[in-house]
C-alpha cells in the first residue's frame, strides 16, 4: 500500500492506494474519522451490485446505512442532491455523520456536494471505483453538479478526510468506462510528466488490457501528481488550472449533448485533440509534438462520434466556469510535459478547429499506424 498526504486548508488528509484494501474485512471502518454519530454509504446500484458485499464487510463495525442513487451524468443535478439530503434526514444524519462515497466521478461529485452542504458540512470519505475517479476526481476537494446550461456550475471546494483507491475495483468496469479513464491519464502525461507519456507510448496495449503492474504504477503516479498540484493550489487560482487540459471543449461538449451521449473521459479526449490543434495552429506546439499527443489519444480506442454541431459546442463554451469577464481560458500544450494558460485564442480559430475536429482522430490513427509500420 502507498500512502500520500494531500495538503488542504481544511486539514491534510491521507490518500491510500493499494490492491485489496476494500476486501479487508473491517479495515475501512478503522480508517474513518473519529467518533461518527452515523456512517452513510453513498453509492450507485451498479457499484453496489459488484462491491456491496465487500464494502459492507469492510465497514461492518461502523454499521453503515446505505443510500443508492443514479450515477449517470444526466442525474448529476440538484434534484439528486435534494433526494440524498432528505434520506439523510430520515436516517437520522446529524453534524457528526460521516458520508462514504463509493463509486465513480458522479458519485464522488454528488456525495461531496451533499457533504459540503448538508448541516453546513459533514465529514466525507472517498472510495473511488473508476479509473477517472482514482486518478483524478476523488482527489482535491472539488464537488459539484450540473445545470442544463453547463457542467459543474453549482458546487463547492470541500476536501475529504480520507481517499482509498483500490485498483482491484477497476476489474468490474466495462471496457468503455475503463478507456474513458485512460484519457485522464494521458492528460497528466501531457501537462507535467514526460516519463509517464513515454511509458504510455510503450505500454498502452498493456494498459488497455488492464495489466496489473502497469495499472498500479499509473494509478499511483497520477494520484500523487494530482495531490501535489491541488496541495499547492487548492482553489484553482493558478497552477491547478493546468488540470483543465482538454476540459474546456470537453465540458462544453458534454453540456451540448445533454450529458447523455459521451462519458466524461471521452469528451476530454475530444477536448485534448482540440487543444492540441489550437496550439499547433498558433505555433506554440510543433507538428511532431502534436502528432505524438494525438496518436496517444487515438491509440486508446475509437472515440464515439461527436453528437452535436460545432455551433452548439461553441455556444456552451461561454458558460464555462473558467471564463473570466467573458474571456475563455485555454490550457494549451507547449511540448509533452509542459502547458500554458492562454486567453488570447481567437474565436475564429476555435470555430475552425471545432469544424474540423471530427476529422482529427482518423488523421491521428493513420499517423500512428504509419509510424508503427
Domains in the chain: boundaries: 2-172, 175-372
Task: Quote the CA–CA distance of 108 and 86 in Å, as a whole number.
Answer: 18
Question: Which among 307, 284, 308, 279 has a CA at the least distance from the CA of 294?
Answer: 279
Please confirm, yes or no, whether 142 is among the known catalytic residues: yes
The grid coordinates of residue 169 equal: 475495483
Residue 321: pLDDT over 70:
no
pLDDT band of residue 361 (cuts 50, 70, 90) is: confident
pLDDT average, residue stretch 143-165: 95
Please confirm, yes or no, whether 251 is among the known catalytic residues: yes
Please confirm, yes or no, whether 264 is among the known catalytic residues: yes
pLDDT in tens, 248-281: 999 999 999 999 999 999 999 999 999 999 999 9
pLDDT for 370 equals 52
Please confirm, yes or no, whether 234 is among the known catalytic residues: no
pLDDT average, residue stretch 213-242: 94
pLDDT in tens, 72-126: 999 999 999 999 999 999 999 999 999 999 999 999 999 999 999 999 999 999 9
Which position among 123, 151, 264, 280 bears the catalytic label?
264
Please confirm, yes or no, whether 247 is among the known catalytic residues: yes
Which position among 73, 184, 266, 277 bears the catalytic label?
184
Per the prediction, the chain carries an average pLDDT of 94
Residue 372: pLDDT over 50:
no
**Do the bridges between strand 65-68 and strand 38-43 make them parallel or antiparallel, or are there none, so unpaired?**
parallel
pLDDT in tens, 277-301: 999 999 999 999 999 999 999 999 9
Residue 325: pLDDT over 90:
no
pLDDT band of residue 324 (cuts 50, 70, 90) is: low
Task: Quote the CA–CA distance of 243 and 287 in Å, as a whole number.
Answer: 23
Q: Global pTM? A: 0.93
Which position among 244, 254, 266, 291 bears the catalytic label?
244
* Fold of the 2-172 domain: Rossmann fold (3.40.50)
Which position among 151, 179, 187, 251 bears the catalytic label?
251
pLDDT in tens, 2-43: 999 999 999 999 999 999 999 998 999 999 999 999 999 999
CATH architecture, domain 175-372? Up-down Bundle (1.20)
- Other CB atoms within 10 A of residue 154 CB: 16
Which position among 123, 240, 280, 292 bears the catalytic label?
240
Which position among 236, 254, 266, 277 bears the catalytic label?
236
Q: What is the 3-state secondary structure (H, E, C) of the chain?
A: CEEEEECCCCCCEEEEECCCCCCCCCHHHHHCCCCCCEEEEEECHHHHHHHHHHHHHHCHHHCCEEEECCCCHHHCCHHHHHHHHHHHHHCCCCCCEEEEEEECHHHHHHHHHHHHHHHHCCEEEEEECCHHHHHHHCCCCEEEEEECCEEEEEEEECCCCEEEECHHHHHHCCHHHHHHHHHHHHHHHHHHCHHHHHHHHHHHHHHHCCCHHHHHHHHHHHHHHHHHHHHHCCCCCCHHHHHHCCHHHHHHHHHHCCCCCCCHHHHHHHHHHHHHHHHHHCCCCCHHHHHHHHHHHHHCCCCCCCCCCHHHHHHHHCCCCCCECCECCEEEEEECCEEEEECCCCHHHHHHHHHHHHHHHHHHHHHHHHHHC
Q: Are 187 and 268 in contact (CB under 8 A)?
A: yes
Please confirm, yes or no, whether 240 is among the known catalytic residues: yes
Per the model's pLDDT, the better-predicted residue between 126 and 368 turns out to be 126
pLDDT average, residue stretch 188-194: 97
The grid coordinates of residue 143 equal: 464537488
CA 93 to chain centre: 28
Question: Which among 164, 357, 223 has a CA at the least distance from the CA of 278?
Answer: 357
Which position among 90, 120, 324, 359 bears the catalytic label?
120
pLDDT for 117 equals 98
Question: Which among 265, 290, 306 has a CA at the least distance from the CA of 368?
Answer: 290
pLDDT for 323 equals 65
Q: What are the two backbone dihedrals, phi and then psi, of residue 51, each rounded to the nearest 5 degrees?
A: -125, 5
Please confirm, yes or no, whether 184 is among the known catalytic residues: yes
The percentage of residues in the chain with a pLDDT greater than 90, rounded to a whole number, is 90
Please confirm, yes or no, whether 236 is among the known catalytic residues: yes
pLDDT band of residue 160 (cuts 50, 70, 90) is: very high
Which position among 179, 226, 292, 316 bears the catalytic label?
226
pLDDT for 373 equals 40
Amino acid at each position: 500500500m502507498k500512502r500520500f498526504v494531500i495538503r488542504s486548508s481544511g486539514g491534510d488528509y491521507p490518500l491510500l492506494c493499494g490492491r485489496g484494501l476494500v476486501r479487508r474485512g473491517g479495515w475501512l471502518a478503522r480508517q474513518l474519522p473519529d467518533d461518527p454519530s452515523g456512517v452513510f454509504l453513498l453509492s450507485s446500484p451498479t457499484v453496489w451490485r459488484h462491491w456491496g458485499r465487500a464494502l459492507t464487510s469492510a465497514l461492518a463495525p461502523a454499521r453503515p446505512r446505505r443510500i443508492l442513487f443514479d450515477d449517470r451524468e444526466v442525474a448529476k443535478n440538484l434534484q439528486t442532491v435534494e433526494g440524498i439530503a432528505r434520506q439523510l434526514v430520515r436516517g437520522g444524519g446529524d453534524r457528526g455523520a460521516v458520508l462514504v462515497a463509493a463509486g465513480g466521478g458522479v458519485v464522488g461529485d454528488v456525495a461531496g456536494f451533499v457533504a459540503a452542504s448538508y448541516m453546513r458540512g459533514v465529514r466525507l470519505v472517498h472510495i473511488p471505483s473508476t479509473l477517472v475517479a482514482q486518478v483524478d476526481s476523488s482527489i482535491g476537494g472539488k464537488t459539484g453538479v450540473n445545470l442544463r446550461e453547463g457542467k459543474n456550475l453549482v458546487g463547492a471546494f470541500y476536501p475529504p478526510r480520507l481517499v482509498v483507491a483500490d485498483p482491484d475495483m477497476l476489474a468490474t468496469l466495462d471496457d468503455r468506462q475503463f478507456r474513458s479513464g485512460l484519457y485522464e491519464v494521458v492528460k497528466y502525461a501531457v501537462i507535467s510528466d514526460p516519463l509517464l507519456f513515454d511509458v504510455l507510448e510503450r505500454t498502452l496495449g498493456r494498459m488497455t488490457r488492464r495489466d496489473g503492474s502497469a495499472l498500479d504504477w499509473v494509478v499511483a503516479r497520477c494520484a500523487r501528481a494530482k495531490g501535489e498540484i491541488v496541495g499547492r493550489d487548492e482553489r484553482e487560482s493558478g497552477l491547478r488550472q493546468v488540470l483543465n487540459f482538454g476540459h474546456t471543449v470537453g465540458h462544453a461538449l458534454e453540456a451540448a449533448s445533454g450529458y447523455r451521449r459521451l462519458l466524461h473521459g471521452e469528451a476530454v479526449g475530444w477536448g485534448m485533440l482540440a487543444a492540441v490543434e489550437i496550439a499547433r495552429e498558433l505555433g506554440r506546439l510543433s507538428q511532431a509534438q502534436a502528432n505524438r499527443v494525438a496518436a496517444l489519444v487515438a491509440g486508446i480506442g475509437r472515440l464515439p462520434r461527436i453528437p452535436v454541431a460545432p455551433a452548439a459546442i461553441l455556444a456552451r463554451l461561454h458558460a464555462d466556469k473558467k471564463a473570466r469577464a467573458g474571456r475563455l481560458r485555454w490550457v494549451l500544450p507547449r511540448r509533452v510535459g509542459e502547458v500554458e494558460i492562454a486567453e488570447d485564442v481567437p474565436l475564429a480559430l476555435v470555430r475552425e478547429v471545432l469544424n474540423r475536429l471530427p476529422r482529427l482522430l482518423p488523421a491521428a490513427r493513420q499517423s500512428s499506424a504509419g509510424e508503427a509500420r
